[in-house]
Structure formats: structure tokens, C-alpha cells
Structure 1
Amino acid sequence: MDAPGTGDPGLFGPDSVTWQVHGDPMMWVAGVRALYLQALHPRAVRGVMQNSDFRRDAWGRLMRTANFVGTLTYGTTEAAEKAGARVRKIHSMLGATDPDTGERYGIDEPELLLWVHCAEIDSYLHVLRRSGFRLTDAQADRYLAEHRESARLVGLDPAAVPGDRAELAAYFEQIRPALAAGPEAREVDDFLLRPPTHPLLVPARELLWRRVADLAYASLPPYAHRLYGRPAPAPATVTRQLRVTGTLLRCVPAHVRWQLPPKHIIRAMSRLGPGSRPAPYKVGRSLAILDEPGEGRTNTDGGDRGRWGTAG
């Protein structure tokens, strides 16, 4: 076993933007937003619904996704590569059928993988920045560039994946005509609003989970609200709610949050030493050379100078 501080830093390492931001508790809200956004691609969400037990084990699916992201971020290079290989193997064996045309297609089509990737990474970046995690424009671009590596692990050509905010915005503009809130998206929406739970836990679901789901939905771009047909508060109100939620969650000591299974960050710090501890201030310290004067300003609608990748 390597001595602390000398172990494998993994795909990203402690000096990356990804290493710092993925330890933030608002990643859970961002993950739910990603599900809402991903469900708006009919072919992509159909592949999920026809090939998984999402309806019966949605909680398990959410936790497996979180574990995958944690492994890619904080695990060793070998662990990340193995996790990616497992995902590629599973995808290569699965397909879905279009109910209207009878067409059979693979869920590992690059178009579908790219949509899932972009919706996920955009959601992480959007929610964290809008909730008060300070990232300049240059740092946001670096985050997107770093995740060409995670895109490679699921089977995409990194060169075909948006590597900065301008490329991501262009991608969403191009894909929007293909988006719709079909029957499968409605199922996802219904689950996220009212996930099945034990009757005794229904009050807690309404008190806690419903607030997370409502906030994640509200943070979607306006075109997503129009497709789902459900309104959302004014953007300025949503931004305030995200900032208040982020402030409250960040008051929970990190060492308490990180003790929850599967403890990816704890294991990474054990492998690499206490200096590898993720912290927001390290982003500015280690990446300040990338910044340009005036970057990082935001408008009251939560947009990054009005240039969010999924702005409606």
C-alpha cells in the first residue's frame, strides 16, 4: 500500500476543478436536475426505462450513479477505468425499441451518450455556480474540458464532446428541437415528485425530498419548464433558494458528510494525504492563473453573464 501522499491521484487529481467541486453537497440537487433534463430526450429516456428497473429501484439507480461519479472523481485510475469498462460493456448489450416505428436502436449510440453526458455535466456546473460555489468563467471552462475524460470512459470520442461553455451552449441550441416531454419523461417526473416510500416516511418525503425535487426542477432552463408544462418561480427567486440551500448544506461539517457511504473522499485522502482534501478555496488558489479580469460575474437570473449552457 502506498504511503499517504504518494498514491495514485486518479483521473483528475487534487489540483483539478472537478476534485474540488464534486465534494460539494449541492451535487445532490444537481444530480436530480440532471435526471429531469436527461428525461427530455425521448430516445435516451426510453433506453433507460426499457432496460432497467428504474420504476422499482430508482433509489438504487440514483445511488449507483452517485457511486460511479465518485469513483471517477476520487478513485484510483485503475478503479475509474474499470468502472468505465463496466458501463461500456452493459451499454453495448442493451437496446430499445421506438414504439411508433418499431425501430430497434442501441443505447450506446454516440448521440444518446453525448446527451446524457452534457445534461449531467451542465447540471453539476449550473447548480453549483448558481448556489454560490465561486468559479470564474475560465475555471468553468476547465471543468468542462476535464470531463472530456469522463466522456471517454463511457465510450465517447473526447474530441466530439463540448470542452468549454461556448461549445456546450452551441450543443444545447442544436439539440433542442429533438427534445420533448414524452410518456417516459412524465414517469420520471412523477417518480421524482412522489418516489415510493414506506407509509411512515411519507411526511419526511414531503418535507425533505419534495423540496429537493422542486428546487432541482426550478433550476432547469425555461424551455424545459415549457416542455414539462409545469411552471417554476421567477429566476431571481430560484437563485435565492439555491443560495440559501447551498449555504445551509455547507454548514454541515465536511467530515460528517464524507462519512456517508461509499466514502470516496475519505479513501482518497487516506491514499493521498490530508493535503488532498477538497475545498472551494483551493479552486481559486490553484487555478488563479487561468482567470481574467472581470470573470465570474453573474446576473440575478443565475446566468453566467447570461450565457448558461442551457439558458432557455
Structure 2
Amino acid sequence: MSDDQGLFGPDSVTWRVHREPMVTVGGLRSLYLQALHPRAVAGVEQNSRYRQDPWGRLARTSTYVTTVIYGTTEEAERAGKRVRALHARMTAVDRRTGERFRVDEPELLRWVHVTEVESFLTAVVRGGLRLTPQEADEYFREQTRTAALVGLDPATVPDSVAAVEAYYERMRPSLELTADSAATGIFLTVPPLPYGLGLTPVRGAQFGVSALAIGLLPTWARRLYGLPGLPATDLVTSMNARVMGRLLRSVPIEWIESPARKRAMQRLGRRN
């Protein structure tokens, strides 16, 4: 047993948020948002093999996130170091200007970080997790530690609900639906399923999760994708998110918790 609680610990808002299975829907939502940044999506399209191995990419990303959340301080820092080293070798070309850029530019790292953590929080709250405004702000403050792991100065990262909203307002003029982002959006909505599952009811369930992730997007993001930005969409999505959140919360956490969380609970001598 160890008393190393890692970057956050079981009493943090981060642990409360990431205990919720709806974070998975939030992760998918963040990918739709990230694809609206022309350089961010170009960096992924030109450096990643996610189309050839989407589920492997998902598993690796999930392992990174859960290691950072639940791992020891050393494990989290080691995971961050690997990501920084990987990004440092990558460049891409802005298809609009022909300019080559580094994928670890602070603007791009910040966009990916903010869309990810904001999506996690949005999905779990609309899925039924009750947080006070102060707790929501605390989540963003805590998550500046994960921003530091990928090479960002925490002082440059939005650290409250209001700061995130202001950040989105500043970023919106630079966002657009490019050929890359449209292709990515389609791929995320109907990805290839392994083991022939695309010909089974699993396809319908997967499409339902994608539709929920899209519905959870901000109104302005849905409109950029050419989708309705009606108030009724938000109302229906909130109802569906609450139903899914309640359904997922009924599954015993021992069945679905990550290996990193299991190890953390054992390390700290905690019960679920």
C-alpha cells in the first residue's frame, strides 16, 4: 500500500467526474470539437493511423487518460513525457496556406486540452452527476495539471467554467468545417466495427452513442457541421443523456472500471 495519491486523489472532483461512465461519451464529443480546428485536424490526419486502427487508438488514448487520472505521480509524469516526445517529432501542413507547422504548438495543445476536459465535464453533468458551480470550477483548476503534462504553461489554460466559455468565444472565428473535419466527423459517426459487428445490432447502439455525442455539442459547433442548432435539440439531448447516464450508473463499477483505477484503489486501500 502506498500513500501516493497521484496528481489528484480520491477526494478530488476529477475522481468524481471520471468515475462516471458518461466520460466515454464526453471523449467522443471532444473529437468532434477538435476536428473543427483546421490545424488540429490536419495534424491528426497527417500523423495518425486512426483510420486503420480506430479501436487501438481509442484504447491507447483511454490508457493515457486513466493513467494520468489514477496513476502515481511518477506514472503520470512518465506518460506525459512520452506524449511530449511523440508530439515533438510531428509536423503537418496547413492545407489552406501550405505552411508547415509543429503539432505541439501551444495553441493546438490548448485546444485539444480544453475541448477534452470541457467535454468530459459536460457529458457527466448532463448525464446526471450533480456538481456545484464551485466544484465545476475546481475540476477545471485541477485539470491544469494534465495540461502541464503535455507541455502547456498552466497559467495559459482556462481554469473555470467562465474562462472556458470565454476561450470558446475567442476561438470560434478560427474554427471551420474543412474537408478534413467533415471526413473525420463522418468517420466518428460510422466507424468500422471489429469482428463483423457492423452487421449486428451493435451498429445501432454505436450510432446512438455518436448521435448523443453530437447532440451534446455546443449549438455553434453543431451549426458548423451543418446540423440543427435548435433549443429543442438541447432539450431532447439532455433527456437522452440523463437516461443513458442512469443506465450506465446502474452497471456495477467493478465490471467497467479501468485497470488504472483498480490499481489506485488497491494502492490507497480504498473501497469503491
Give me the whole-angstrom Cα distance separating, in 1, the residues matched to 2:196 and 2:87: 37
1:243 aligns with 2:239: no
Q: CA deviation at 1:198?
A: 4.5
Paired position in structure 2 for 1:219: 216
1:228 aligns with 2:225: yes
SS in 2 for 1:11: coil
Q: CA deviation at 1:206?
A: 2.3
SS in 2 for 1:100: coil
**What letter corresponds to residue 69 of structure 2 in structure 1?**
T
CA contact (8 A) 2:38 2:94 kept: no
1:266 aligns with 2:262: yes
1:28 aligns with 2:27: no
Stretches of structure 1 that go unaligned for 5 or more consecutive residues are 278-312
1:164-196 deviation digits (Å, cap 9, x = unpaired): 111111100000000111111112111112111
Count of matched residue positions in the alignment of Structure 1 and Structure 2:
269
Give me the whole-angstrom Cα distance separating, in 1, the residues matched to 2:178 and 2:254: 42
TM-score by length of 1: 0.83
1:126-157 deviation digits (Å, cap 9, x = unpaired): 11111110100000000000011000000000
Stretches of structure 2 that go unaligned for 5 or more consecutive residues are none
1:99 aligns with 2:95: yes
Give me the whole-angstrom Cα distance separating, in 2, the residues matched to 1:60 and 1:170: 34
Paired position in structure 2 for 1:305: none
After TM superposition, what 4+ stretches of structure 1 lie above 3 angstroms from structure 2? none
Q: CA deviation at 1:236?
A: 1.0
2:206 to 206, 209, 213: 209
Q: CA deviation at 1:7?
A: 3.1
CA contact (8 A) 2:212 2:240 kept: yes
Paired position in structure 2 for 1:291: none
Q: CA deviation at 1:98?
A: 1.5
Q: CA deviation at 1:200?
A: 3.2
| Cα 1:198/1:151, change in 2 over 3 Å | closer
1:195 to 191, 197, 207: 191
1:112 to 108, 115, 123: 108
- 1:4-23 mapped onto 2 (5 Å cutoff): 6-23=2-19
Give me the whole-angstrom Cα distance separating, in 1, the residues matched to 2:195 and 2:17: 35
| Cα 1:198/1:71, change in 2 over 3 Å | closer
**What letter corresponds to residue 193 of structure 2 in structure 1?**
T
CA contact (8 A) 2:23 2:121 kept: no
Q: CA deviation at 1:14?
A: 1.1
Q: CA deviation at 1:99?
A: 2.1
SS in 1 for 2:201: helix
> Bigger shift: 150-159 or 98-107?
98-107
1:66 aligns with 2:62: yes
SS in 2 for 1:28: helix
1:97-128 deviation digits (Å, cap 9, x = unpaired): 11232211000000000000010011011111
**What letter corresponds to residue 156 of structure 1 in structure 2?**
L
**What letter corresponds to residue 249 of structure 1 in structure 2?**
L
SS in 2 for 1:54: coil
Paired position in structure 1 for 2:255: 256
TM-score by length of 2: 0.95
* Aligned sequence identity (%): 49
| Cα 1:198/1:126, change in 2 over 3 Å | closer
Paired position in structure 1 for 2:121: 125
> Bigger shift: 15-24 or 111-120?
15-24
**What letter corresponds to residue 99 of structure 1 in structure 2?**
R
